Chains A and B, each alone.
Chain A
Amino acid sequence: MESVLGRYKNLIVLVGVLFAQVLGLAVQVKRTTDTESSRLIRIWAVNSVTPFEKVLNWMHHGTGNLWHNYFYLRGVRAENRDLRAQIEKLRLEQVRLNEDAAQARRLQALLAFKEQFISQTLPAQVIGSGGTEQSRIVYIDKGEHDGLKTDMAVITVDGIVGKVLKVFGSTAQVLLIDDQSSGVGAILEKSRLQGILRGTPAGEVVLERIMSDNAVQPGEEVRTSGGDRIFPKGLPVGTVTRVGNGPDLFLSIRVRPAANLSKLEEVLVVTKLVEQEPTQLQTGPVRAADILAQRLPSVPDKPAADAAKTSESSQAAAPPANRPSGGTAPPRAESIPPAPKPNISSGASSAASTNKTPSITLISPAAGSTGLRPATERRPVPPPVKVANPATPPAQNPVPPDSSTTPQDGPQ
């Protein structure tokens, strides 16, 4: 007996080790809940790797930032000029979109339609990957200590990335949307067809469950439908690249993700979603002329003495359209908060206080909002056009009367 054991010792150990692993696999496949038996091994493995990854990423980004922010500034001036031009263009477009959004909001309010808003996000840095082609996951440097939970949506500015799969102490595992086990409720932007977005074993992203009798064109944008209760509705998902016939009367639609999943560095974890009915806000329209007027050059501020003199002389001549908003027009020029050039401020707080004032919304991090909003959601009430310099008389205002900052006096 001993000789047999000795002779087949290697084989017996091999069979034993394999049997133990097969048994472990069977247990894991059977239990699909979070209280899995392998969690301890995963915690050990992740905790032994991620600290080094964090350090290396910190060094990598540190040297990169040093180079890009202090030494390699070639073309920054030209880029800045282009960006300014782009901002102007976008502001004009935003006025048009605000109109559409306001209309949509009114209709939603009529239908008592509840929307999900991203109210809080947590920025995180991608520090590592799963390391295999079969499992498309990444690790981020935020975890349970930062308030992360499983099934939280992970996004970038470009589009959705995935969801939090497992949470550890100071790290978390994110399942990317191109993993074969992921599933996202998605909707085609133009045709409004809803399907399920899945990853393929080859790492591609396909939109499933759309009947083949529907017409879908390449180039159509795909957005989240909100049906999965993870991603709020309207976030950009990607673009349709190829449409073909799939199995069982369904189309096979290839989608190119909006976010570059192979080059992820910083992501946002949606830590809080708020569900609320849209409020119908009574706002006056903002015309493109208002925006254009702001781009006109303004007369520089005069000294206080001159301004007072000019103010007195021009008070009588000031057209009513240039009077400030907020009820009855003040009788004296000193109490008038006029503006030679209206400011466009970003922020929701001021918007709430002046509901009847036409304004322009700039959704930006500086606005005090901690989160992104769904792409379909536009704030109809931009911050009010503020009056910046009371000393300057309205007569010197380069803004034409019809584009003044007092909408109730204008043609509403």
Chain B
Amino acid sequence: MPITYTSGEQVEVYRFNWLITLGIPASALFLQAWLPHLFPVFAMLDLPLLVTIFFAISRRNPISGLLTGGAIGVFQDALTGLPIGINGIAKTIVGYAASSLGVKLDVENAGARLLVTLVFCVVHKIIYFMVARGLVNLSVQWSWPHELWSAFVNAIVGVFLFFALDRFKLRT
């Protein structure tokens, strides 16, 4: 059963070492900035978003999720030439939604993670598009095939990444 509806008490809540809490998002941000320079196809990936989703789902704390997402998003924006806050807003909402979902649902297996990551990647793209178009007046192009394909690739990578990061989880 990929997604199980459960009460807040039944699901496992995890915490992380502070080194992991800082190191993994920093590594994701660094790789996101460095890898597309060597391999342009990596620009399709959004590693900071995957890390945001992972921490939000694992901690199952909405405030923690939205703050993590916001911080990662703002940092990511600072590395681009665009105004700071576009990614910040999108990842704040995704972090909040993912952690809220984590409270309700148990998403520990690969199928559930693939589906959840796919949905949140699309949601992130939509919010990003709305903020960039509506608030900053950027001429961002929207293409459903490209966005869906990108979300699918991110979801696939996310499944493997989540399993790799699971070993850093600590039970509360």
**Chain A interface (Cβ < 8 Å from any Cβ of B):** 9-10, 13-14, 17-18, 21-22, 24-26, 28-29, 38, 41-42, 44-46, 48-49, 52-53, 56, 60, 126-135, 137-139, 165-166, 173, 175, 179-181, 200-202, 262-264
Q: Show 21 residue pairs from A and B whose CB-CB distance is below 8 angstroms, ordered by the A residue.
A: A10-B62, A10-B66, A17-B67, A24-B85, A25-B83, A25-B136, A26-B135, A38-B84, A42-B84, A44-B78, A49-B30, A49-B79, A52-B30, A52-B34, A53-B34, A128-B34, A129-B33, A134-B128, A134-B140, A181-B81, A263-B40
Chain A residues near B88: list those with CB within 8 A. 21
Nearest neighbor of B96 in chain A, beta-carbon distance: A14
Is the beta-carbon distance between B85 and A134 smaller than 8 angstroms?
no
A41 to B87, CA, bound (A): 14
Structural contact, A165 and B79, CB atoms closer than 8 A: no
Task: Please report the C-alpha to C-alpha distance between residue A140 and residue B66 in the assembled complex, in whole angstroms.
Answer: 33
Given known A-B contacts A25-B135, A128-B37, A200-B141, A134 and B80 have beta carbons under 8 A apart: yes
Q: What's the minimum C-beta distance from A73 to chain B, rounded to whole angstroms?
A: 24
A202 touches B37 (CB 8 A): no
Q: How distant is B84 from chain A, measured CB to nearest CB, in Å?
A: 5
Interface presence of B82 (CB below 8 A):
yes
In the complex, the chain B residue whose C-beta lies closest to that of A174 is: B81
Q: Measured between alpha carbons, how far is A288 from B97 in the docked complex, in Å?
A: 75
Question: CB-CB < 8 A to A128: which residues of B?
Answer: 33-34, 37
Using CB atoms, name the residue of chain B closest to A180. Answer: B139
- Chain B residues, Cβ within 8 Å of A264: 37
Q: Cα distance A201–B30 when bound, in Å?
A: 24
* Chain B 23-36: CB-based contact to A (< 8 A → 1; otherwise 0): 00010011011101
Contact among A38, A131, A181 with B32 in the assembled complex (CB-CB below 8 Å): A131
Q: Is the beta-carbon distance between B81 and A135 smaller than 8 angstroms?
A: yes
- B81/A137 in contact, CB under 8 A: yes
The size bracket of the interface on B is 35 or more
Asked if A133 meets B75 with Cβ closer than 8 Å, knowing A21-B89, A22-B89, the reply is no
Chain B positions 44-94 with a Cβ under 8 Å from a chain A Cβ: 44, 46, 62-63, 66-67, 70, 74-76, 78-89, 92-93
Across the interface, do B85 and A202 meet the contact criterion of CB distance under 8 Å?
no
| Separation of A48 and B33 alpha carbons in the complex (Å) | 12
A165 to B81, CA, bound (A): 8
Q: A45-B75, A133-B44, A134-B140 are in contact. Are A13 and B66 (CB under 8 A)?
A: yes
Q: Is the interface of B mostly helix, strand, loop or mixed?
A: helix
Give B residues with C-beta under 8 Å from A. Answer: 26, 29-30, 32-34, 36-38, 40, 43-44, 46, 62-63, 66-67, 70, 74-76, 78-89, 92-93, 96, 100, 128, 131-132, 135-141
Say yes or no: A38-B78 contact (C-beta < 8 A), given A17-B67, A24-B85: yes
Is the pair A201, B139 in contact by a Cβ cutoff of 8 Å? yes
CB neighbours (8 Å) of B85 from chain A are: 21-22, 24-25, 28
**CB-contact partner of A42 in B29, B78, B132, under 8 A:** B78
Cβ B80 vs Cβ A132 within 8 A: yes
A129 with B36: CB separation less than 8 A: yes
Q: How far is the CA of A295 from the CA of B63 in the complex (A)?
A: 78
Interface contact A17-B66, CB-CB below 8 Å: yes
A371 CA to B62 CA, complexed, in Å:
56
Contact of A133 among B43, B74, B84 (CB under 8 A): B43
Question: Given contacts A14-B92, A17-B70, A25-B136, are A130 and B81 in contact (CB under 8 A)?
Answer: yes
Q: Which of the residues A18, A130, A181 comes within 8 Å of B79, measured between beta carbons? A: A130
In whole angstroms, what is the CA distance A133 to B135 when docked?
A: 19
Interface centre among B74, B75, B85 (most CB of A within 10 A): B85
Most chain A Cβ neighbours within 10 Å, of B33, B36, B140 = B33
Q: Which residues of B are found within 8 Å of A131, using beta-carbon distances?
A: 29, 32-33, 36, 43, 76, 79-80
